Structures are given as structure tokens and as C-alpha cells.
Amino acid sequence: MSKRDDALAILQALGMPRQQLNERSCLTLLALAGMKEGDAWSDTQRPLLRIWDMMSWMREHYGKDYAANSRETIRRQTVHQFEQARLIDRNPDDPRRPTNSGDTRYQLTSSAAKVLAAFGKRRFVSVCERFIAQHGQLSAAYDRARRLHMIPVRLPDGVLIELSAGAHNDLQRRIVEEFAPRFAPGSLLVYLGDTAKKKLHVNEKALARLRIPEMSHDKLPDVVLFDTQRDWLFLVEAVTSHGPISPMLN
């Protein structure tokens, strides 16, 4: 396995969110550990690095030449999450350094360095478990935060489900809870999508009754209702907008 593959395995073992399981994060971790392709993980280092230093290190040792404007992407989408997960400390040499200082430096925490140094050894799993027990998994923390903002939806049959947060899904809730009782009373909810979970609710029996074959999420409207009394099928697309409605037709 390459060092990139090793770094990915470490990030996965530590429970990093899916958005940080990529080459950018792997190379950032390698830079923070001073780990070149032929080095042993037992020799993990803890250099103090600015993001510019990390980018220079990636270019020199792994041939990855990030554009100058990638600095902010690395900071916001990798380094920030590493800090939240307690993989790194910011400015351990000078905690009073201003937040927006160009001299801001990052360093592996001692506990994270122990995890990296144990990679490939039998004790790696137990070291990971101790780290997670002490600091938790960032992916689990993110999931808890997302659940605080979930949108509850009461289906026509009284069942309560949850949509992920967002204006689009809130509109879908209103279609199910307000539009359906008013314009399609007594209808069956055949399908309800979700921006995050895709096929959140699918009434297989209703689909079979309507002889509708199973389709992928991107081929279905957001909400499908079946009015059994009038034998009408409602295909509803949820579209959000802002500002005044113009009388102009496009």
C-alpha cells in the first residue's frame, strides 16, 4: 500500500467524515506527520507547519502541486476538521497568535501522533479505540448535529419520518402535510424523496398497484401522491425561490 492509502485507512479508523476521506486530507495528514513514501509510521514526526508549508511539502515529496488559491480549501475543508477531531493543535507555539495571522501553524497532537506511529502494528486498533474514547468520532458528532436540525414529517397514515435539514425538504414537508390534505384528501403517499437520503419513503404496494416500475431517484419527482377516490396521480416537484413573483412569463 502507498502512504496515501495508509493515511486514508487511518482517517477511516478514526471516524473522520466522508468529506474528509480524500487525497487532499491524506496528503495533509502525511505532511503533518512528516511522512514520506519510504518512511516507517513508527517514525511519525510533529513539525509545526503553516498551510503554505504543507502545500510545499506535498509538492516536493508527492508531486501534488496545489494552486495557490487552494490554501483556503485546505484550511476550511481539511485542517479545520482535523482540529475539531483533535488530530492537530493550532498555534501550540504561540496560542496568543491572531486567528487571521499568516504565521498560523498547526501540529499533530501527541495522542494523534501515537495513533499514526502505531499504524501497521497489532496495537493500532487499541490505540485508535483509546483516541476515540477520549475525543470521539467527528463523523458521529456531525451526525448528532444534523439530527438536531432534522425536519419531522407526519405522513397521511400518521407515521412520523424525518427529512434532512434545508428549505427544499421543508417545502416537501408542507406538500405532504398541507397540500395533500387540501387538494388530495385521503391520498396515499407513494414516494417521498430527500436531498440527502434520496429514496426516503417508497410505498411498494402502491407502486405495484399502479404498475409503476422501480425507478432511480433522479427520474422521480419529489413527491408522488395517489388519490384512490378519483384515481388521480399527483406528481409534485418542490421548487423553492425568493423575491417577488414576476408576472412575466418565460
Percent residues over pLDDT 70 in the chain: 84
> For residues 39 and 166, which has the higher predicted lDDT (pLDDT)?
39
Q: What is the pLDDT of residues 24-47, one digit of tens each?
A: 999 999 999 999 999 999 999 999
Question: What's 46's DSSP letter?
Answer: -
Res 217: pLDDT: 47
- CATH number of 3-144, picked from 1.20.1090.10, 1.10.10.1820, 3.40.190.100, 1.10.357.10: 1.10.10.1820
User: Taking a C-beta distance cutoff of 8 angstroms, is the pair 160, 154 a contact?
Assistant: yes
> For residues 177 and 247, which has the higher predicted lDDT (pLDDT)?
177
Percent residues over pLDDT 90 in the chain: 35
Region 221-237 average pLDDT? 86
**Under 8 Å CB-to-CB from 66, ≥6 apart: which residues?**
55, 58, 59, 74
pTM of structure: 0.59
User: Taking a C-beta distance cutoff of 8 angstroms, is the pair 186, 228 a contact?
Assistant: yes
187 confidence band (pLDDT: 50, 70, 90): confident
DSSP letters, 201-244, are EE-HHHHHHHTPPP--GGGS-SEEEEETTTTEEEEE------SP
- CATH number of 155-236, picked from 3.40.50.10070, 1.10.40.30, 3.40.1350.80, 3.20.20.80: 3.40.1350.80
**Under 8 Å CB-to-CB from 161, ≥6 apart: which residues?**
152, 153, 155, 192, 200, 201
